[in-house]
Structure 1
Amino acid sequence: MYSDSAQVKIRISGDEMLNHLDRSDPFQEFTKGVFVEFFGPQQTVSSTLSARYAVRYEREGEVIVRDSVVWISTDGQMLETEELIWDEQARQIYTHKFARITTPNRIIYGHGFRANQDFSHARILEVDGIVPVEP
């Protein structure tokens, strides 16, 4: 769980978390999948993220989720990729891998993705295609 000013921002769960306590490079590893809930200002879930593997490197302030990564927002957007990296200090989420964003009216796919940590400003870096979705 991550909170800021007594407000829950993120809740993380997984079937198994390994806490590696090496002094020079401590990290937490979710080897059997991870599920993350992001909370908005009203303390309701604004989006979720799931992946089959995740690791958080404490010293670097970096979280990497891999393998079948899916982010879904409550407003109907979905991101699918094989890897996402969260830079905690810069408050940025990105990947250099193939990514696909599905919205209620189109699908955008390409290589590379960048967003701020709440996904409110997100974009595919090299768009390969845009497909309209009929209602």
Structure 2
Amino acid sequence: MQIDKSHIIKNSVIAFAMTLFFTCKSNLEDVKQLSMSANDPVGISDSINVKRTDSGRLSANLISPKMYDYSNRMFSYSEFPDGIVLHLYDKNDAQTTIIADYAIIYNNTDVIDLKGNVIAATPTKDTLFAEQLYYDQSKEWLFTNLPATYRSKGYVTSGNGFDSDKDFKKAEILGVTGQFAVQE
């Protein structure tokens, strides 16, 4: 019995095509799963207590019940949906405390965006009330361009913004809308 060469080639091509057909699968589901996970956080943490030091000295302490880590994004950030307490320390370890209902730390800019019932209180009991406040960690500067109320020794001042160093030594209400004296 003689085998024709064209028959061998034909069967080889069919076997090769069938092998390719059965080994290739649709990656559509994998692609969908990848695109969905790009919107999800890369990590979720509970009970956060992060300390930042400068030359071996504690400069900040951030406490939060939950953190979502979006470092998988081009403009990476960490989100604190359940609020934060941020303690800022000066060179004498005096503590300024800032609380907020929600916060985002933008990793590329080192800025913390604090939102919702923001209260900042200094060791001398000066207090800032705002709906949003930014803290630039590298410059150690607090600011907002939204309405804010600042209570300092003997005065309550309201305005359309706030600008200050973290120690409130250079605190300034911008666009003052009202000021009145209070008895201590």
Q: Do they fold alike, i.e. is TM over 0.5?
A: yes
Worse-superposed segment, 2-11 or 54-63:
54-63
Counterpart in the other structure of 1:31: 81
Task: Give the whole-Å Cα distance in 2 for the aligned partners of 1:104 and 1:119.
Answer: 12
Deviation of 1:24 after TM superposition, in Å, equals 1.6
Encode CA deviations 1:15-66: one digit per residue, 9 max, x unaligned: 11111121522211111010011123233x4210000000001112221000
Deviation of 1:90 after TM superposition, in Å, equals 3.9
Task: Give the whole-Å Cα distance in 2 for the aligned partners of 1:6 and 1:96.
Answer: 33
Worse-superposed segment, 119-128 or 89-98:
89-98
Counterpart in the other structure of 2:125: 76
Worse-superposed segment, 5-14 or 115-124:
115-124
| Residue identity matched to 1:8 | L
Task: Give the whole-Å Cα distance in 1 for the aligned partners of 2:167 and 2:157.
Answer: 19
Task: Give the whole-Å Cα distance in 1 for the aligned partners of 2:165 and 2:152.
Answer: 18
Matches within 5 A, 1:1-135: 1-43=51-93, 45-135=94-184
Task: Give the whole-Å Cα distance in 1 for the aligned partners of 2:62 and 2:135.
Answer: 14
Deviation of 1:69 after TM superposition, in Å, equals 0.2
Deviation of 1:92 after TM superposition, in Å, equals 2.5
- Counting helix residues as a fraction of each chain, which structure ranks higher? 2
Identity %: 22
Encode CA deviations 1:102-128: one digit per residue, 9 max, x unaligned: 123110011111112332211011001
Task: Describe the shift of the 1:10–1:84 C-alpha distance in structure 2 as closer, same or farther (beyond 3 A).
Answer: same
Task: Give the whole-Å Cα distance in 2 for the aligned partners of 1:31 and 1:118.
Answer: 26
TM-align CA RMSD: 1.5
Task: Give the whole-Å Cα distance in 1 for the aligned partners of 2:135 and 2:174.
Answer: 16
Quick check: which has more Rg, 1 or 2? 2
Gaps of 5+ in 1: none
| Length-normalised TM-score, structure 2 | 0.68
Q: SS where residue 153 of structure 2 aligns?
A: coil
